[in-house]
Structure 1
């Protein structure tokens, strides 16, 4: 809408300024073009500041275009072809100088899984054979969706996928109704997919923070100052902290580059197939939570020493950054069954349903085994209650703030999420595959700050529950400039002190 309006306005200006016979009709495009441009701009930007900034830039373009077309009108023979070339060049130039991913994080996209478009919970295993026969009679196929080790403790082993031919997907609501009418199901929901995208960010001015570590990129990690990591490092170096186990923080994402120079010494492998990252998103999140600190390489993290927790990886997203609800839930089950203490999910998307039962059941499977689940709030500047899996029962959701403690312009609001906190999520510098580093924006970057802190807390008190952990994070956190919509900003040293003091 925005681009169409911009081009129509330029065409209208060309018709007005050239004043050539045959082009009069183009002049009528100015008013509708400006209307579409304004509507598209309002729906595209997320803050009033962005609106004024972008509209000012566009109005300058329009003024320059009008002057250019007026100048070209003096030529009798070249006015029209030259104006067309100028129009195309201006449109191209405009699109390429506009703030793109560098300034405006892409919103998460969603859709249906390519196969197994529906997730169905059967009410009784005795109906399984009849279910399979009925599904076959419809021309569809079905498979068991999940296989948790402790099936008796969850309903997840009652879930099946239904694979529907592409030519029938337009009737999905009718198909769901038909399935529900069999009387053999407790629940039917779409097997939705999400698509994560990394947003490059400008690195903020270097900060001279005395953290007592020698990681060379610390000066580019402004978040360490806001989190007062120097206090945490001092506490972890003291005799006051005693660990009872080495916790495991699982990054459920695109994988993690297990051989990265700043991750390998703090990485625990669940399976070799998870130990690479063709996309880069998972590796970036892993570095935020647990890059090796004080090793003279790269960045610093919560892993002040290797005594508290290790990072592991479970791939739930494909190389392109997409994954289905089934993929993510299977990742939750795998991580829990392999002994993870904290699950960090920097993923999600807008849900077409008010609630998704399978996600909540998967999180319950984790919390029943005393595993804390963390999820990013989402990057759409909307209500996080409409996004999954952050809206699942039992999840600690994480919004993003900038270096002024403002809610990041893209961050979803978490005021309707039962347990939610805030962490830095703008210009976050961290690890990338093949020993690289970069800064990115997103609530994806905020979530692993919380996960890394929880890794330390669980190493000190392994029995710490999700509700107890959230209570500590909330009580020890500090207010942001929009606390109602962000939750409180985590303060690591104070949270660890509260765990040590048994202050639940």
Structure 2
């Protein structure tokens, strides 16, 4: 029986020379850039492709969605925030004190699209691409909110963006209007962003593992053990797919500055029920070379702590509770989640790209990622802060 598979191809992996001869690379006319296909394959075809050196990865598509948890519903802007000229998240990462604005940095937001007419994006060049079939634009609101935190201009006198000097953004719609999609769309979106020379890729997305499992068990009427085994096999293959994708990004950095890839770790933990109810990072945040982001919250004492819902084993953290940003249709709204923490880190990455370029230093993706981790702070957390929850600490802008 034929099934749907994602094929990630990379012809640069093939050797077009006889033994002991110098490798000369792909033949003229062949597509050497990595690309993805989604096709129906039988068992024999799958086995043959796994032996093909030009096939970097092969995986069944898995459903993707917005990370579950508190971010599902937007809320009015808190009164305390309405009285401020800068949102607490932008303030916490030190962006107002930074000499950098993100000018010259190109950021790719892979999400539910964007409300390009929102005043927060006035004067920007927004390159939109739809991978879902729902068309460009944002009828969900999640992508607009995340984009606003990365590079939004002030709205109603309130600064919402960490890097409001970004002039160009790549907006890849990889989740449909209902907030769901497929891993195939994410892979296409990442390759598109890499091909368009993004300095930063930010993804507030997760794999819906349990929906995939339930679909196999309920809709396809698989026995429970078989459905569980098939779901785990698909997850493993997807992890390898993302790992290969990130290695391609690193390989591209050999001939250019490269790309910093950032993703939300997810909101599946429940520390409010039990301090040990902590879940590890979801994909794509768990993939090799991706900076996984945890969410932090404010305490009444003024210090910060990990958000109860934030998944553990992140590389870095950002403000993720009560984050005010752009609302689809205009105005501002408040959301919570690791989805909201991630664009704070993406905005800081845009600032660090500008900083390293201005210094004349080696402005490359590895250097930017290193600057994010080395300059993160743990001084803002309470005494019970756990490094495994917060990673290197709260992201900071260049000063």
Q: CA 1:281 to 1:358, structure 2 compared with 1: closer, same or farther past 3 Å? A: same
Q: 1:377 aligns with which of 265, 271, 274?
A: 265
**Residue number in structure 2 paired with 1:195:** 65
Match of 2:223 in 1: none
SS at match of 1:262: helix
- C-alpha separation in 1, matches of 2:122 and 2:175: 21
Q: C-alpha offsets along residues 28-58 of structure 1, whole Å, 9 cap, x if unaligned?
A: xxxxxxxxxxxxxxxxxxxxxxxxxxxxxxx
Matches of residues 364-443 of structure 1 in structure 2 within 5 Å? 364-367=247-250, 368-369=252-253, 370-381=258-269, 382-385=278-281, 387-404=282-299, 405-414=304-313, 420-443=315-338
Greater relative contact order (Cα 8 A, min sep 6): structure 1 or 2?
2
Q: 1:475 to 1:322 in 2, by over 3 A?
A: same
CA spacing shift, 1:460–1:184, aligned 2, 3 Å: same
Please give the TM-score of this superposition, normalised by the length of structure 2. Answer: 0.70
Match in the other structure for 1:323: 181
The aligned residue for residue 245 of structure 2 is 362
Which residue of 1 is the match for residue 370 of structure 2? 471
* CA distance in structure 2 between the partners assigned to 1:124 and 1:302 by the alignment: 39
Residue 265 of structure 1: CA displacement?
2.4
In structure 2, distance between residues paired with 1:392 and 1:428: 26
User: How many Å apart are 1:409 and its aligned residue?
Assistant: 1.1
Cα distance change on mapping 1:202 and 1:188 into 2, 3 Å: same
3-state SS of 2:287 partner:
coil
For residue 142 of structure 2, the aligned residue among 274, 281, 291 is 281
Structure 1 residue 322 displacement after superposition: 1.0
Q: Which residue of 1 aligns with 2:391?
A: 487
Could you tell me which residue of structure 1 aligns to residue 89 of structure 2?
Answer: 223
Task: Give the corresponding residue for 1:79.
Answer: none
**Unmatched 5+ residue regions in structure 1?**
1-114, 126-148, 165-174, 208-215, 238-242, 498-504
Question: What's the counterpart of residue 162 of structure 2?
Answer: 302
* SS of aligned partner of 2:353: helix
Q: Matches of 2:345 and 2:279 in 1, distance apart?
A: 20
The 3 A distance-change label for structure 1 pair 318 and 262 is same
Q: 1:163 aligns with which of 40, 48, 51?
A: 40
**CA deviation after TM superposition for structure 1 residue 378, in Å:** 0.8
- Please name the residue that 2:32 is paired with: 152
Mapped to 2, the partners of 1:229 and 1:182 lie a distance apart of: 48
CA distance in structure 2 between the aligned counterparts of 1:312 and 1:298, rounded to whole angstroms? 24
Q: Tell me the equivalent position of 1:117.
A: 4
Partner of 2:217: none
Considering fraction of residues, name the structure with more helix. Answer: 1
Calculate the aligned-residue CA RMSD, in Å.
3.4
* Counterpart position of 2:24: none
- 1:292 partnered with 2:153: yes
Quick check: 1:120–1:160 contact (8 Å CA) kept in 2?
yes
TM-score by length of 1: 0.56
Alpha-carbon distance in 1 for matches of 2:49, 2:30: 28
Which residue does the alignment assign to 2:195? 337
Given the superposition, is the C-alpha separation of residues 312 and 150 from structure 1 closer, same or farther in structure 2, using an over 3 Å criterion?
A: farther
Q: Which runs of 5+ in 2 are unaligned?
A: 13-28, 210-231, 270-277
Identify if the C-alpha distance between structure 1 residues 312 and 383 changes in structure 2 by more than 3 Å, giving closer, same or farther.
same
Would you say the 8 A contact 1:348–1:389 is kept in 2?
A: yes
Contact map agreement 1:204 1:222 (CA 8 A) in 2: no
Distance 2:345 2:306 in 1: 16
Structure 1 pair 183/428, CA: closer, same or farther in 2 (3 Å)? closer
Deviations 1:64-122 (A, max 9, x none): xxxxxxxxxxxxxxxxxxxxxxxxxxxxxxxxxxxxxxxxxxxxxxxxxxx97322467
Corresponding residue of 2:212: none
Write the distance in 1 (CA, Å) between the matches of 2:191 and 2:119.
29
State the number of aligned residues. 321
Report the 3-state secondary structure (helix = DSSP H, G, I; strand = E; otherwise coil) of the residue aligned with 2:193. Answer: helix
> Could you tell me how far apart the structure 2 residues matched to 1:284 and 1:376 are?
14
Secondary structure of the residue that 2:334 maps to in structure 1?
strand
**1:331-388 per-position Cα deviation (integer Å, ceiling 9, x unaligned):** 1111121232111111112553346222222223334240111111111114434x21
> How far does residue 483 in structure 1 lie from its aligned partner after superposition?
2.4
Change (3 A) 1:379 1:354: same
